[in-house]
Amino acid sequence: MSPHDVFSELVGQDEPVVTLRRAAAAAARIVAGEPDSGGMTHAWIFTGPPGARRTVAARVFAAALQCERDGTGCGECHGCHTALGGTHADVQVVTTEGLTIKTEETRAVVLRAASAPTGGRWQVVIIEAADRLHERASNALLKAIEEPSPRTVFLLCTPSVHPDDILVTIRSRCRLVSLRQPPAAAVAEVLVRRHDIAPDQAAWAAAASQGDVERARQLAADPEARGRRDDVLSVPRKLTSIGACFDAAARLEAASKQEAAIAVAELDVAERAALERALGAGGTGRGATTAMRGAAGQLKELERNQKLRATRAQRDALDRALQDLIGFYRDVLVTSMRAPVPVVHGDLAAVSAAAAGKWTPESTLRRLEAVLTCRDAIDRNVKPQVALEAMMVSLWQG
């Protein structure tokens, strides 16, 4: 057991790591031709709150399954490297860049999953957002899980196993890996050890990110991310009139759009250039005209997908902002209740304490609920601006 093996990615997830190590070792014995000892199964669900890094856990497990050193997930062999790097021929990933996963894409992946692994180990299919599968795609997946090929493994990632997120029939055929929000101390330790961040900065970022390693790293290392967080956390103080509420909603909406645009811009340009290169340019005659019509269709399709991705990125940016606000109102609540737990936003402890002196716990709770309601509404496709305006007014009124 090396401290640098692939499982070291799973910060603060001791129990799931034990289960996954055991399964990968059992899987390696099956590959070696030994009798099935029962530790391995062909369908898994990874659940957990935001920041628990469900998809990272699935990729780590995929690497251990492809590991050439007895499934230890050594992190050094070719199987581990290519599986983690996303280039292993027997690890297919259905990603989440659109708002929903296309049925054809899932079908194609499920079909390919039935074939024997080229590397002789396992054919692994990771579905990063199983909760966003269309109904028909879910049914195709269910069928594949019901009649599995002997060496195919499905790893499904979903926020929860609520029937809204995953078909009950799929759930019943999968082994569940419940990831938890890692404790702040574990997150801080990773920032110090792996990203060379000063201990006090790491401790602050780990608490402020509420257990999300990637978000903590961003807060510790990126001044722009810190600036956006400061803006969001200044909102509660600015809500002094109905006009201020609408202003705050508009500003937050615009900021999330801009953050999303920056996040996808580079990828958009690279994808378009790659597609244009692949389609070729120039040529005359009938063949070229037909080819150009096909090319126009493909470019349009690309634009549509890129637009979906931008929408998804904006929702993610908004969700981070709402998480920050949830942390703030929670801090106000724990301060006024004198709960013996640390605050999320340590740098704003004076502000949350002042609010705790001014608001009743009931009205703080109503504000917290207003943020949660806003998140739900955005999740259900309510226009972000409308959801944010309603939230700001509730936050002002209390």
Binding stretches for Zn ion (CB under 5 A)? 67, 69, 74, 77, 80
Question: Considering beta carbons, is residue 59 or 217 the nearer one to Zn ion?
Answer: 59
DSSP state string for 20-50 = HHHHHHHHHHHHTTPPP-S---SEEEEE--T
**Cβ-based neighbours of 54, under 8 Å, separated by 6 or more:** 46, 47, 48, 157, 158, 159, 179
Least distance CB 7 / Zn ion (angstroms): 11
Give the DSSP H/E element, type plus range, for residue 236: helix 223-238
Question: Considering beta carbons, is residue 74 or 233 the nearer one to Zn ion?
Answer: 74
Least distance CB 84 / Zn ion (angstroms): 10
Here the tokens at position 334 are 């724990």
Least distance CB 32 / Zn ion (angstroms): 15
Question: Considering beta carbons, is residue 64 or 368 the nearer one to Zn ion?
Answer: 64
Least distance CB 80 / Zn ion (angstroms): 3
Q: CB–CB of 73/185 below 8 Å?
A: no
Distance CA 333, CA 123 (A): 49
Question: Considering beta carbons, is residue 60 or 67 the nearer one to Zn ion?
Answer: 67
DSSP state string for 89-126 = TTEEEE---SSSB-HHHHHHHHHHHTSPPTTSS-EEEE
Here the tokens at position 373 are 């309601």
Question: Considering beta carbons, is residue 74 or 392 the nearer one to Zn ion?
Answer: 74
Least distance CB 362 / Zn ion (angstroms): 55
Least distance CB 68 / Zn ion (angstroms): 6
For 262, how many CA atoms within 13 A lie in the half-sphere containing its CB? 8
Least distance CB 341 / Zn ion (angstroms): 40
The DSSP 8-state label assigned to residue 182 in this structure reads: P
Q: CB–CB of 116/141 below 8 Å?
A: no
HEC states along 67-91?
CCCCCCCCCCCHHHHHHHHCCCCCE
Question: Considering beta carbons, is residue 80 or 205 the nearer one to Zn ion?
Answer: 80
Question: Considering beta carbons, is residue 77 or 263 the nearer one to Zn ion?
Answer: 77
